[in-house]
Structure formats: structure tokens, C-alpha cells
Structure 1
Amino acid sequence: MRGQTISKYAAQIEDLIVIVQKLSLARNLETVMNIVKQSARQLTQSDGATFILRDGENCHYVDEDAIAPLWKGRRFPLRICIGGWTMNNRQSAIIYDIAQDSRIPYEAYEPTFVKSLLTAPIRQIDPIGAIGIYWSDYHQPSSEEIKLLQALADSTAIAMENVQLYSELEERVKQRTTQLQVMNEHLREEIIERHKAEEEVRQLSLTDELTQLSNRRGFNFLAQRELDNAHRRSYYSTLFFIDLDGLKPTNDTYGHELGDQMIKDAAHILKQTFRETDIIARLGGDEFAILTAAEEDDHSQEIGDRLLDNITNFNSRSQQHYQVSFSIGQVTYNPNSDESLDSLLVRGDQAMYLHKKNKKRIEREDTK
């Protein structure tokens, strides 16, 4: 008989080890309670088990597993509750006959199946709850059952502390993750703003402030890229090297403010004439350059006619003290050559001066 008892207790200890392992993996209170209420009945072969938590000056019967309803969800004052007595006295309550024990509020037990019970505090120093087990027949809890229930309660205390620590750690991780997300968002915004600022600086360094056309640096950058593309894809490009006639006399006679307006009007005419895909630039002073791609047909004549029409239309409507006119040098880039951009610009400049020279010769002849 004693051998059977020892064998049974050894089996219960093995069950307890498995239960403790399950509790160690629990990450929330609900999981802990489910394990405890089922395990308490399993270990003691009882008819019911309750999970009780201290709630201020009350016992809160949070959960239960029993053959019939007990007190799940109800609260009782600590001073009249056996769970409260267990917590206040930090020890197990062992009751063979609830009707004969003054600690039991009989009116709360009378509607239930309970005849005998055993409770154990969850955490023996400053208990936070208790586990109760109940029998429908009179039962004297054995020392082994008392030890098993207390061991389960002690393991429950550790599991609940782990849940609290895990919850706090998870909350800190969430907070830190949120902080990192906010920091990353701020960093992303800063990077975007920096890129915008860098782009603005780049645009300022590549753009003529007066006309908002590309400046010489911008033209060199874009034109070189266009010539490289033309060379790879074997299409011709046309460079228009343009000098704004009469800028110096306008500056000398009417001042630089009107001269600046003349430059802006010239830029506007050029933007009207050429395509958005063409590279239009003010190289400085009265000099402009336009590089056009001619992947299909040569549009040089069409461009020249359109430019002349735009100049004529502007001058006919203008109320300014000047008339816009251009001296133009037009040269072609051969993709099969190794000509550099600088060489192309030199040829364009020479062609422009030849055009200017011929215009002046014609003007002199007309005045004779």
C-alpha cells in the first residue's frame, strides 16, 4: 500500500514538472490561469479548482474549473473569504468539513457541491492570490496533496512574475520601437530635406538666376550628357550659338535694369522657340547656347523660321526702347566624330561672329 502511494506521488511529481515547464512558457495571465485551474484538479483528483487574486481588500474569483459552477467573477471581502484568510495568514487552509469551520461563510458555499477544500497562497511573502481545490465528498487532504498544491502555487507566483516582466519588457520594446520609428521618420524627413536643399543648391549652381535657364556650368553638364548619348545612338545634334544684339548700347543708354529685361525677353523668345527637350542656356552676358537633338529629321530650318516669327511678334508688340535681334551660329555635331563639346562651342562661336559680321556689312550697305 505504501509502495503504491509512493509510486502515485512520484507520478504526480512528474506531472508537476511538466506543468512547471508549461507555466515557464506562459506569456499572459490568461494562459497561466488556464494551466493552473486544470493542473490543480489533475494533481489532486479534485472536483473543482479556483484561481483567486487579491483585489484591494477583496478576493476576486477570476477563473475556475469545476463539475458545477462556483463563484467565477465574484468578489468577497478578504476577512470573510477563505482565500482571503489564506493570503492574510500566508499559509494553506485545510478544511475537511466546510460546515464545521468558522472561517467559511456557509451561505456562499451552501448552493455549491463543496464539502471539503484545500487552499494555498500564491507567493508566500506578501501573497497576491490563492489557489483553491474542492471535493464534492468529504475528503481529508493528504500531506502529498498539500505539498503538490503549494508547489503549484509557488510555480504560479514565478510564472505571474515572469508574465509581468515579459509584459513590461514587451511594452518597453514597443515604446523603443515607436521611438525608433519616430527617429527614423525624422531622419527620413531630414534626409529628404537635405536632398531638397542639395538639389536647390545644385540647381542654383547650374541655373542662371536672371533667366532661370541653365548657366554655362549647367549647359556643359547637360550638353556633354546629350553628346555622349548621341554618340552611342548615332544621331546628329545641332548647336545654336546665339548673341543678343544691342545689349551694350541698351545698358549704356537706359541702364542695366532695362538691359536685364532685354536679356529676360530674349530668354523668353528662345524658350518659346525651342522644345522642352532641347538644352537652352545663357552662357553669360549676351551669349546663349542651345543644343538640339535630331534623332529623326533635321528641324533646323523649321526652328529658324519659328525663331524669326517669335522675334517679329515680340518686337511688333513691345513698348520697350529696344528691339530684340540675334546673331546666330549654327553647327552640327557628327556622332561618328570624336569632337569635344569645347570644340563644338568654338565652331558655334565662330559661325555666330561670321553671321554678326555679315549682318553689319549688310547694314552698312543699306545705309549708303
Structure 2
Amino acid sequence: MAQGTAESSVVLRRLLALARDFLQASDLGGILALAGRAIPDLLHSDGSLLVVHDGEREFVSEFGRHHRPMPTPEASALLHHARRAMADRTPILLPAIAPDSGMREDELTALGIASLIAYPFPPVRPVGALVSVWYRQGYRKELARLIPTLRLLGEITGAALGNVSFRKSLEDRIVTKASEIEEAARLHAVELLRRDSVEEEIHRISVTDMMTGLLNRRGFFLHAERSFKLARRLQVPSVLVFIDIDGLKAINDAYGHDVGDDLIVDMAHILQQCFRDADVIARIGGDEFAVFTIDTSQPDVLLARMQQSLAEYALRPDCPYRISFSTGIVQCDPGSEQSLSDYLLQADQLMYDQKRKRLSDS
């Protein structure tokens, strides 16, 4: 009695250790290897086989007496009884208890097997079977006593397989979800870039004069205000120039608006050649342009520079017009409270004064 209790205690401790090992197994192969090695220890058998179905494939692991993996041929008697136990959902004990098992006593002897147990697990819908064999006749009478151990072994093996299956399913779902999140993040980033690009294009269009490529009136105030505030903060002088093309209406009336548009574009090119990239150059009306520059040059120096750019500008040989413009140049005092709009009005007035004086002189 005491010996039986001690043996039961050893078996339970071994099963608990196996259960702990199962928790560390990450895949079906690990479960098969652990269970295959544990069966001979628990049952003192001379060989073992574990077969498992995952719903699509069959996995077989066979171990000899020294826990070494062995190849399992398709015609294996052990595999045959494992499959039959699963199909019948009933343990198979050979040879004494189940004479109708499909193997005669002489066949067992020929195979060198004295006793055999095939136990399906779980009992209701088996996904696998444990098989153990003994070559010692003495174990024939003890087969039934081993059923509880096999049942516990089958239960924890089945639980371990379920745990691996759940973990694999969870990992697959996590990987899939991570891939979905990564793809969603990528698409979101692409969409943000597209929106940024669209917004940049909309902004560019909103501040650009399509005919000349210069800033329009809105773009002029947006960019010139920044430069104006910077000059005031740094206490450096700045200049605002107002330019009006002379005789544009006459050109339009005489040659058509397409030619008048060419004149406007030529004027824009002259201003781009005269001023720096950092200066704010804009077409703010039909024949009106404005330039804001942080420049210490005096108005007469700027005007001379503009006239020089006009003289150097090469018109087309068949151009029917001569470019002429009137200007109003105002120096902006960094210590003044006047706004950019105030200075633009002053430059506009100076331009008209110059235009009227030129007309009266002619």
C-alpha cells in the first residue's frame, strides 16, 4: 500500500513537472517531444508513440526506451492502433483485454511486443492518441492500472496542445492586426502627405499670380508683412516700391489683350532681374506691381537700378511696344507706427505724382 502511494506521488510530481514544461512549449513540435520523452518515464514502457491531428495534418512522434526519436513507417502497428483508438474514441489494451483489436497474439510476438496500450485524448472528440508498449510479459496484468495515468497524461497533453493552438491563434491575430495597423499607418501617412501636398498647392495657387508667376496681392501682404515686422524688430531700414506700367490700356486697345499680357509678363521679368530672391515681388493689380525689400539703398539708387534692368532687358525683335513704367518709392522707418498698408498708399501716391508730372512734361 505504502509502495503504491509512493509510486502515485512520484507519478503526480512527474505529471506536474511535465505540465510546467508544457507551459514553456511554443509549438506543436515541442509538445510532441516533451510528451514522447515523458511517457516511458511515467509508464516504465519500452517505447512510446504520440500522434496528433491539428485539423489538417497528422503529426507523429515515436521514442524508444532511451528517449531517442525514431522514424515511424506508415505501416507501423503502433500508429495503426493510435489511429484506431482515436476513431473508436476508446482505449485499446492488448493482448489480454481486447482480443478483437485486429492483431493476433502471434503477430504481437512477431513484433516483439508483449503488451500495448493506445489511449485517445480527449475522450469526447480525440485530437490525438498516446501509445505505449512493453516487451515484458509481466506488464500484461498491470495495463488497466495504468489507465488513470494515461488519462491524466492525455488531459494535460490535450490542454497543452490547446494552449499552443490558442497561443498560435493569438500570435497570428496579433501579427495580422499589427500588419493591419502598420498598413493603416502607412496609408494614413500617404494620405497626410497627399493632403499636405494638396494644401501646399492650394496655398501656392491662392498667393500666386498665374500670369506672371509672381505673388498676387494676397501673397504680397502675407510675405511682406513678415519681412516688415522683421525689419522693425531688427531696427533696420526697408523700402517699399510701387510700380505701374505706362500705357497698358493703349497697348490692349491697339494690339489686343494677348499683347498686353506679354507686356505684363515682360515687366515681371524685369523686376525679377532687378531685385533679389529674398525680396518680396508681387503683381497686385492689372498693371500694378509692388516690391518690399530690406535694403539701405536710397530711392534714387533703386530707381537707377530698375532703369538699368529695363535697358538690359532684351525684347523680342517683333515686339510692338516699348516698356515704360512709373514708380513710387518709400523708405519705411523701423521706429514708426505706420503699417505696411500705410506705406503702400504713400508709394502709390508718389507713383501717381510721378506719372502726372511725366504726362504734364510731355
The 5-angstrom pairing of residues 272-291 of structure 1 reads 272-291=273-292
The 5-angstrom pairing of residues 229-248 of structure 1 reads 229-248=230-249
Once residues 65 and 25 of structure 1 are traced to their aligned partners in structure 2, the CA distance between those partners, rounded to angstroms, is 24
Q: In the alignment, is the contact (CA less than 8 A) between 2:95 and 2:105 conserved in 1?
A: no
Letter of the 1:346 counterpart: L
Find out whether 1:74 has 2:76 as its counterpart: no
> Residue 154 of structure 2 aligns with which residue?
153
Find out whether 1:177 has 2:163 as its counterpart: no
TM superposition shift of 1:306: 4.2
> Residue 353 of structure 2 aligns with which residue?
354
> Residue 188 of structure 1 aligns with which residue?
189
TM-score (norm 1): 0.82
Stretch of structure 1 that moved more, 230-239 or 64-73? 64-73
Q: In the alignment, is the contact (CA less than 8 A) between 2:121 and 2:127 conserved in 1?
A: yes
TM superposition shift of 1:116: 4.5
Change (3 A) 1:91 1:336: same
Once residues 300 and 11 of structure 2 are traced to their aligned partners in structure 1, the CA distance between those partners, rounded to angstroms, is 103
Q: In the alignment, is the contact (CA less than 8 A) between 2:108 and 2:114 conserved in 1?
A: no
Once residues 159 and 174 of structure 2 are traced to their aligned partners in structure 1, the CA distance between those partners, rounded to angstroms, is 22
TM superposition shift of 1:148: 1.4
> Residue 321 of structure 2 aligns with which residue?
322
> Residue 89 of structure 2 aligns with which residue?
90
Stretch of structure 1 that moved more, 148-157 or 116-125? 116-125
Once residues 103 and 252 of structure 1 are traced to their aligned partners in structure 2, the CA distance between those partners, rounded to angstroms, is 121
TM superposition shift of 1:39: 2.6
Letter of the 2:218 counterpart: R
TM superposition shift of 1:219: 0.6
> Residue 8 of structure 2 aligns with which residue?
9
Letter of the 1:182 counterpart: E
Letter of the 1:178 counterpart: S
TM superposition shift of 1:124: 2.3
Letter of the 1:102 counterpart: R
> Residue 309 of structure 1 aligns with which residue?
308
Q: In the alignment, is the contact (CA less than 8 A) between 1:78 and 1:85 conserved in 2?
A: no
User: 1:83-132: CA deviations, max 9, x gaps?
Assistant: 233323333334479xx96289669945xxx6544332232234332223
Once residues 106 and 277 of structure 2 are traced to their aligned partners in structure 1, the CA distance between those partners, rounded to angstroms, is 94
The 5-angstrom pairing of residues 197-346 of structure 1 reads 197-294=198-295, 298=297, 304-314=303-313, 317-346=316-345
* SS of structure 2 residue aligned to 1:290: strand
Once residues 107 and 318 of structure 1 are traced to their aligned partners in structure 2, the CA distance between those partners, rounded to angstroms, is 116
User: 1:1-43: CA deviations, max 9, x gaps?
Assistant: x123113213322332343344355442122223312332332
For structure 2, the 5+ residue unaligned runs are none
Once residues 116 and 329 of structure 2 are traced to their aligned partners in structure 1, the CA distance between those partners, rounded to angstroms, is 109
Once residues 225 and 300 of structure 1 are traced to their aligned partners in structure 2, the CA distance between those partners, rounded to angstroms, is 22
Q: In the alignment, is the contact (CA less than 8 A) between 2:62 and 2:69 conserved in 1?
A: no
Change (3 A) 1:284 1:161: same
Once residues 272 and 107 of structure 1 are traced to their aligned partners in structure 2, the CA distance between those partners, rounded to angstroms, is 108
For structure 1, the 5+ residue unaligned runs are none
Once residues 211 and 77 of structure 1 are traced to their aligned partners in structure 2, the CA distance between those partners, rounded to angstroms, is 89
Once residues 200 and 306 of structure 1 are traced to their aligned partners in structure 2, the CA distance between those partners, rounded to angstroms, is 34
Once residues 312 and 115 of structure 2 are traced to their aligned partners in structure 1, the CA distance between those partners, rounded to angstroms, is 111
Q: In the alignment, is the contact (CA less than 8 A) between 1:60 and 1:74 conserved in 2?
A: no
TM-score (norm 2): 0.83
Once residues 77 and 359 of structure 2 are traced to their aligned partners in structure 1, the CA distance between those partners, rounded to angstroms, is 114
Once residues 316 and 210 of structure 1 are traced to their aligned partners in structure 2, the CA distance between those partners, rounded to angstroms, is 18
TM superposition shift of 1:189: 2.4
TM superposition shift of 1:222: 0.7
Q: In the alignment, is the contact (CA less than 8 A) between 1:59 and 1:83 conserved in 2?
A: no
Change (3 A) 1:107 1:192: farther
User: 1:39-83: CA deviations, max 9, x gaps?
Assistant: 323323445433223599x97533536417564353337897232
Letter of the 1:181 counterpart: E
Aligned residues: 354
Once residues 59 and 103 of structure 1 are traced to their aligned partners in structure 2, the CA distance between those partners, rounded to angstroms, is 29
Change (3 A) 1:271 1:5: same
The 5-angstrom pairing of residues 99-110 of structure 1 reads 102=104, 109=111
Once residues 107 and 301 of structure 2 are traced to their aligned partners in structure 1, the CA distance between those partners, rounded to angstroms, is 108
* SS of structure 2 residue aligned to 1:243: strand
User: 1:244-266: CA deviations, max 9, x gaps?
Assistant: 11111112222222111211111
Letter of the 1:285 counterpart: G
Q: In the alignment, is the contact (CA less than 8 A) between 2:64 and 2:70 conserved in 1?
A: no
* SS of structure 2 residue aligned to 1:76: coil
Once residues 32 and 193 of structure 1 are traced to their aligned partners in structure 2, the CA distance between those partners, rounded to angstroms, is 50
The 5-angstrom pairing of residues 40-79 of structure 1 reads 40-53=39-52, 61-64=60-63, 66-67=65-66, 71-76=70-75
Letter of the 2:347 counterpart: G
The 5-angstrom pairing of residues 30-41 of structure 1 reads 30-41=29-40
Letter of the 1:352 counterpart: M
Change (3 A) 1:73 1:289: farther
Letter of the 2:81 counterpart: I
Q: In the alignment, is the contact (CA less than 8 A) between 1:49 and 1:133 conserved in 2?
A: yes
> Residue 19 of structure 2 aligns with which residue?
20
Give the % identical residues: 29
* SS of structure 1 residue aligned to 2:164: helix
